[in-house]
Amino acid sequence: MSKRDEVIAQVEPLLAAEPALRWAYLFGSCARDAVAPRDVDVAVMPREGAYPTAVDWGMLIATLEAAAGMPVDLVDLRTAPLPLAGTLLEDRVVLLDREPGARHVWEADTTSRWIDFRPAYERYTRVRQMAMSERLDRERGRKGDG
């Protein structure tokens, strides 16, 4: 059994036991079945008003981590930035789906917006990376002068 299959077997029943969740995905290195994932990335779409406090959210994370046996990065799809939501859909594994129609609408809308936004986002990240590299080069040059 692969690590991905093990994680799914451990986490899926816990997500199903959470009535406040509409749907959930496994994504990231574990979803891609990487050789040795360092953590488990899970994205959930809770019902409106669910998990109102950090303590509630933390309890869900702790439950998932105990089952997975490794750190869990839990993403709330209600508030996820578009670059994260758009990219996680590329390698998602559906773990829970109580509202398939709503999930499909959300996926189509998110994918459409991400396709439109992605070129600008990629340009922004390239320019930002170049600016950071130039700044580091200048800083290194100053340290070498002293």
Separate counts of helices (H) and strands (E) for the chain = 4, 4
pTM score of the predicted model: 0.84
The CB-side HSE value for 71 (13 A sphere, CA atoms) comes to 6
The confidence score (pLDDT) of residue 35 equals 74
How confident is the model over 31-48, as pLDDT tens digits? 999 878 899 999 999 999
The count of residues in the chain is: 146
Low pLDDT (below 50) residues in the chain: none
Measured distance CA(7)–CA(79) in Å, rounded:
25
Pairing between strand 72-76 and 93-97? unpaired
The confidence score (pLDDT) of residue 29 equals 93
The confidence score (pLDDT) of residue 145 equals 66
How confident is the model over 61-76, as pLDDT tens digits? 999 999 999 999 999 9
Question: In the chain, what's the furthest Cα-to-Cα distance?
Answer: 64
